[in-house]
Amino acid sequence: MAGPPSDYGALIIAMVVAAGVLAGLIRAYLAHRTRLHAEREASARVAARATGLMGLAERHRGVVRIVERDRDGHREVEFGGREPLLGNDGEEAA
């Protein structure tokens, strides 16, 4: 028959539970740090791309149309044109 766990058995169970909790906390911290690093890297890439595109638009003396597709979606930007891309009927874009 199994009796109540001894002090040694209770200590082992407590250590296993503590190790599991500690492993979970470490895993959550590493996932958070990885996500932060990826967001910083993406932000730096966006800033560099925007700077390059502004330089391109400044040097070019006509209409510059930029079409961009990435994980955030699809964007079209036009510089130097007289007509807006959206709202051709005199509507204001929101």
pLDDT of residue 25: 97
Q: What is the DSSP letter of 89?
A: T
Q: Which distant-in-sequence residues (6+ apart) come within 8 Å of 77 by Cβ?
A: 53, 65, 66, 68
pTM here is 0.51
pLDDT in tens, 5-58: 678 888 999 999 999 999 999 999 999 999 999 999 988 888 888 888 778 777
- In angstroms, the Cα distances linking 48 to 29, 76, 79 are 29, 18, 18
Q: Which distant-in-sequence residues (6+ apart) come within 8 Å of 44 by Cβ?
A: none
pLDDT of residue 1: 41
- Report CA 2 to chain centroid distance, whole Å: 53
